[in-house]
């Protein structure tokens, strides 16, 4: 396993080096009819690494998600990073069909081929897209958990029912302020919030 990891890291390092020198080679060979899949492969790998480098720490984010410590905004950022990287890796056209020799022509590391195949699979892409389509990013950025899930299309009936009950409870509480004003003889009495707890009377 250690040897496989070393091979994968070595090939990634080689891709980065090849990507840096490929631009010079292209300029020198300008006008020549030369076709090669290798520069494109290296370009995609480097592009994915650059994207991941600018994205939130995916490994740390997944760990926080697994332990239920991630905020909604963190969850969305991590899933977005995974989706973008997966779509870029999908350009390598690495498929799971063992009958094709395409993988062997493009990447030498068995571990790297396997990891890219999994990371760019339709399961990962469709799953990430489905998660993002169910969440309201603006609400997540505002930490508005009441509107975090998109329920307009009939999804999450439990959330829709809970939202309805919360609205009814808020309406009842708002109507009670009139009663409290009369009982306490404070005409300008309003609810206050402390540490995120609403509808308190001081």
The per-residue DSSP string of 36-65 comes to: -SHHHHHHHHHHHHHHHHHS--HHHHHHHH
Could you tell me if 53 and 122 lie in one domain? Answer: yes
Does 78 map to a domain? Answer: yes
Give the residue among 111, 131, 119 at the shortest CA–CA distance from 58.
Answer: 119
**Average pLDDT of every residue of the chain:** 81
In a domain, 66, yes or no: yes
Residue for token digits 């509480």?
173
Do 191 and 120 lie in one domain? The reply is: no
**Domain final position from 122, 144, 166:** 144
Half-sphere CA count of 87, side-chain side, radius 13 A: 10
Same domain membership, residue 169 and residue 131? no
Q: 163 and 112: one domain?
A: no
Encode pLDDT of 30-57 as tens digits: 544 444 445 567 777 788 888 888 888 8
**Do both 9 and 67 map to the same domain?**
yes
* Higher per-residue pLDDT: 43 or 157: 157
Domain housing 26:
2-144
Domain count, the chain: 2
Q: State whether 13 and 108 are in the same domain.
A: yes
pTM of the shown model: 0.70
In a domain, 151, yes or no: no
């Amino acid at each position: 396993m250690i040897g496989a990891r070393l091979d994968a890291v070595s090939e990634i390092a080689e891709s980065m080096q090849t990507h840096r020198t490929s631009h010079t080679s292209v300029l020198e060979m300008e006008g020549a009819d030369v076709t090669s899949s290798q520069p494109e492969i290296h370009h995609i790998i480097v592009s994915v690494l650059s994207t991941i480098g600018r994205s939130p720490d995916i490994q740390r984010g997944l760990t926080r998600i697994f332990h239920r410590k991630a905020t909604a905004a963190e969850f969305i950022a991590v899933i977005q990073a995974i989706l973008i990287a997966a779509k870029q890796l999908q350009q390598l056209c690495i498929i799971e069909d063992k009958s094709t020799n395409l993988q062997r022509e493009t990447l030498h590391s068995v571990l790297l081929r396997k990891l890219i195949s999994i990371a760019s699979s339709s399961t990962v892409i469709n799953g990430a897209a489905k998660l993002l389509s169910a969440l309201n990013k603006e609400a997540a950025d505002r930490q508005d958990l009441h509107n975090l899930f998109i329920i307009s299309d009939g999804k999450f009936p439990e959330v829709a029912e809970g939202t309805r009950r919360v609205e009814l409870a808020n309406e009842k509480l708002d109507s009670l302020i009139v009663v409290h004003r009369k009982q306490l003889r404070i005409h300008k009495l309003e609810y206050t919030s402390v540490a995120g707890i609403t509808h308190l009377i001081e």
